[in-house]
Amino acid sequence: MSLVLIVLLPFVGALLPALMIRAGRNACATSTFTFTLLAFALLLSHAPAVFRGEVVQAGWDWLPALGLNANFFLDGLGFFFAGLILGIGLLIIVYARFYLAKDDPMGSFYTYLLLFQGAMVGIVLSDNILLLLVFWELTSLSSFLLIGYWKHLPEGRQGARMALAVTGAGGLAMIAGMLILGDIAGSYNLTDILQHKDAIQASPLYLPALLLILAGCFTKSAQFPFHFWLPHAMAAPTPVSAYLHSATMVKAGLFLMARMWPVLAGTVEWFYIVATTGLITMLVGAVIALFKDDLKGLLAFSTVSHLGLVTMLLGFGTPMAAVAAVFHILNHATFKAALFMNAGIIDHEAGTRDIKRLGGLLHLMPVTATLAMVAAASMAGLPPLNGFLSKEMMLHEAAATAWLGNGWVVPALATLAACFSVAYSLRYIVHVFFGAKRSDYPHTPHDPPAGLWLPPALLVVLVVLIGLLPATVAGPLVAVVAQAVIGGALPDYHLALWHGVNIALALSVVAVVVGLGALRAYPRVRAVWRAGPHPEAKAMFDAVMAAALALAQRVTHGLHNGSLQRYLAFAIGAMTLAGFATFIGASHEAGTRELLPAEPVAVVAWLLLLGGCVLTVMFFRQRLLSVLVVGTVGLIVCVAFIYLSAPDLALTQISVEVTTVILILLALYFLPKASPLSSTVSADPLRHLRDGVLALIAGGGMGLVSWAMLTRDGSSLSTYYLENSVSGGGGTNVVNVILVDFRGFDTFGEIIVLGIAALAIYALLDGALHGRVARRLSAWTPDLPVSVDRHPIIMVVATRVMLPLALLVGAYIFLRGHNQPGGGFIAALVVSIALIMQYMASGFGWAAQRVRVNYHAMIGAGVLIAAGTGIASMVLDRPFLTSAFDHFHLPLVGEFELASAMAFDTGVFLTVVGAVMLALANLSRMGRLTGQRPVNRTAMDVDPSMGMSKEHN
């Protein structure tokens, strides 16, 4: 279970920063650091097993029949990426503590950071691809919050929207690809999928699955032509940029390509799609980076280039190229995180990131300059640093790769990209730190406190150590990770600083010489660049989004004209068409079950039901009459349930019917009592004809379906419920056992929806109690005369006498529900009706003073109690919401049964009562608002002095 904890700890920790910020910035940062450190320590505890080549697995089955399992596994690749995420995350947390300004909401920042961190760890440790997809989308959402953290900056909001749109669209494509892949392999577990290379690559669906999965990888890892979102994400605070570029967001696509390498790589399609995309991205990113004047912009496009480098290596499909890709991911994470934090230091201390306004900082910021020069030299691929080693390996693999039969295309373009890499890296060093000191810095530059320079310093130490001692420092890690990527034996290689004079060294020398020349002639090179065309990705993206928005608006306005009848016509028509198409397209035979004679009572009830429906259609404009007729229809349905021996359904139906009719009548008080006949309706008789024909066809179709089901023999799930209700759920009331045990998860979801609906009603009606709407409501005059005696004394007395009896009936129905008709839902409606009658008879003010209940809290308590019941069963290693029961004996009381389902039913009871009463309370508050002034009276009204007492107002 420690793997599960590694994933969960960041999410749990995300709850604390917003609270700990009240204790100070140090407490907030410390709590964030602690949870990440705990997750990192748990990860390191598995290091011995991982380095022995073992695969650690954990998780539990949720819905194994559907492949929905919360399974995690840890091998070399997962260990490597989780280590980068958590290890660099620790440095980012420390760095952010000293980087963020005092007026920045640090609690929110660390909350978003931990959510993002947890989502990334979930991606790299997930064994189930459906679970991986959930975490994948969570990274898009949490990165949206991080990129747009500075909400006051338009570019921050724009960058966040762009990142979410691009990566979210790619994620949707990847969902389809993963589902296809799981279908081919016959499993949604990665450990199973990775064993089916031959079946996957031989499938005709291999190419569609490959394209869809790569769409998700390329968008997430900013591959051409989706690279444009990443530089615009630089509007985020520098700690976010450093984290995104070095260890998280953009590495997710590389991780997934590496994870799927054993089953997707090695084909012609993989090579030409992946390697070509990576090569183009590497070159395009390097060229653009050279001409960026913003430090973070330069580093952003350099990240695009290096991501393309790794993608190209993975695309080559050879084991040695995979080893080089793994090694460069490690090296890039170290020097790129250090460089981004270095850029943040310069911006923090000098007040600008514009290279044209910098220079001469070596004399003013010696510590910062030293760290930057080492990290940038590694990015350029200069010896004896780690970037030099992986660049040499890349050039060696590129030199051995042919593209469309040409052996020079790949090495030539890779070397050209390396030339630009040297040039922009050296420009970062020379144009920022060398030259004469200036007198026009926005702020006087100086080295920052240790909290800002220590995190990049630790990474720079790794840059040097890996470069000098690669086999010792990085060798074992690279080997275990590469073996997980390849899925087999490692090629013969060794990591060393010197491999003699070879083609890779020659190409590297060319890159350094050309890069130095480009930097020396930078003004002329920049002039040539400016003279050429420069398509602006942001403008193109904005144009595409504007066109998509315009199209969506045209479609939306064409379909959604505000007519509920139209929406229902489309929905019912589509469902009816689908049903008849299925019926016509399949073979069918007449039913063989013998028909039963229709009893006179059933015929009369059916005629009344039909008549009620017809009357509703005829008199729907008279709202009060139509509500009463609809209520009558509900009561007839209730009688049908009793006739068919379903007392539980009958009790539920009549309780729901009474409650909803009362609430609808209360709401109708504020509406006209008749619907006006609009000119469009009277002028369009064809619409009435359409609705009538559609209703007859849909109703006839449902009747035929019912007829077909009733006249055919077949097995039903009800047999299982009947046989296992007592032995499995401990109750003889099968309906209640289904609700609280067999289908308890459905009931749990329903009470959550009911609670949300009640809160939505509260939010809607609460707006009518304030501001302009409240003023209009207080000036509203009812369209019918209102009696002075709003609370007749006979109704007041009757409801107060009935209240304890109704509460007793509710308690009786609740307690007997597990074995007899009843239960928490019906009891809640009975109690709700009793309370509603108190409000109606005695007034809101009188009832509210005596029933001082927080209905919001009641809804929340109900949901929490229901959830706690389910979690308790999981703690006892039983499926969610599995009930337990036993029989007990007490003196005088005798033998009785207790079931844990009673606690779940209590949650249902509280949620339903809270939801109904919350809606009632708000309608009553609106009624009080309209009753704060004299009302219209007729000649038949009684004397005003005979009105209500003050207590009843």
Nearest CA to 59 among 49, 69, 74, 68? Answer: 69
Backbone angles phi, psi at 59, to 5 degrees: 140, -170
Is there a contact between 263 and 200 (Cβ–Cβ < 8 Å)? yes
Query: What is the structure's pLDDT at 931?
Result: 53
Query: What is the structure's pLDDT at 684?
Result: 65
β-strands 56-63, 68-74 pairing: antiparallel
Give the C-alpha separation, 216 to 171, whole Å: 5
User: Would you state the torsion angle of the CA atoms of residues 513, 516, 520, 521, taken in this order, to the nearest 10 degrees?
Assistant: 60
Query: What is the structure's pLDDT at 788?
Result: 67
Q: Measured between alpha carbons, how far is residue 840 from residues 654, 662, 833, 850 in Å? A: 19, 10, 10, 14
Give the C-alpha separation, 902 to 894, whole Å: 19
Query: What is the structure's pLDDT at 427?
Result: 93
Q: ∠147-152-156 over CA atoms, to 5°?
A: 30
Can you tell me whether residue 102 is helix, strand or coil? coil
Give the C-alpha separation, 447 to 361, whole Å: 10
> 400 exposed, middle or buried (CB, 10 Å; 0-12, 13-18, 19+)?
middle
Can you say whether residue 698 is alpha, beta or left, with left for phi > 0 and alpha for psi between -120 and 50 degrees? alpha
DSSP state of 598: P
Q: ∠12-82-151 over CA atoms, to 5°?
A: 60
Query: What is the structure's pLDDT at 305?
Result: 94
Is there a contact between 755 and 862 (Cβ–Cβ < 8 Å)? yes
Is there a contact between 624 and 673 (Cβ–Cβ < 8 Å)? yes
User: Would you state the torsion angle of the CA atoms of residues 687, 692, 695, 697, taken in this order, to the nearest 10 degrees?
Assistant: -110
Could you say which residues of the chain have pLDDT below 50?
679-681, 932-953
Backbone angles phi, psi at 743, to 5 degrees: -120, 35
Give the C-alpha separation, 648 to 396, whole Å: 76
Residue 782 β-bridge partners: none
Give the C-alpha separation, 360 to 363, whole Å: 6
Q: Measured between alpha carbons, how far is residue 818 from residues 289, 670, 909 in Å? A: 70, 41, 14
What's the pLDDT tens digit per position in 359-384?
Answer: 889 889 999 999 999 999 999 999 89
Give the C-alpha separation, 909 to 865, whole Å: 10
Amino acid, res. 604 = V
Is there a contact between 910 and 752 (Cβ–Cβ < 8 Å)? no
What are the residue ranges of helices labelled H in 151-275?
154-185, 190-193, 197-202, 206-220, 229-232, 238-246, 249-259, 261-264, 268-270
Give the C-alpha separation, 334 to 54, whole Å: 27
DSSP state of 73: E
Q: Which residues contact 323 (CB under 8 A, 6 or more apart)?
A: 393, 478, 482, 486, 490, 491, 493
Query: What is the structure's pLDDT at 898?
Result: 79
Give the C-alpha separation, 908 to 147, whole Å: 41
Can you say whether residue 772 is alpha, beta or left, with left for phi > 0 and alpha for psi between -120 and 50 degrees? alpha
Instruction: Write b or e for each residue in 222-245: b if 16 or more Cβ atoms lie within 10 A of its Cβ, otherwise e.
Output: bbbebbbbbbbbbbbbbbbbbbbb
What's the pLDDT tens digit per position in 162-221?
Answer: 889 899 999 999 999 999 999 999 888 898 899 999 999 999 999 999 999 999 999 999
Query: What is the structure's pLDDT at 469?
Result: 92
Structural tokens at position 7: 């994933």
Can you say whether residue 848 is alpha, beta or left, with left for phi > 0 and alpha for psi between -120 and 50 degrees? alpha
Nearest CA to 950 among 853, 849, 852? Answer: 849
Give the C-alpha separation, 122 to 315, whole Å: 25
Give the C-alpha separation, 357 to 350, whole Å: 10
Query: What is the structure's pLDDT at 944?
Result: 32
* Secondary structure, 3-state, 852-900: CCCHHHHHHHHHHHHHHHHHHHHHCCCCCCCCCEEEEEECCCEEEEEEC
Amino acid, res. 824 = G
Residue 888 β-bridge partners: 896
- Count Cβ atoms below 10 Å from residue 173 Cβ, excluding itself: 18
Query: What is the structure's pLDDT at 69?
Result: 78
Q: Which residue do the tokens 């499909």 mark? A: 317
What are the residue ranges of helices labelled H in 46-75?
47-51
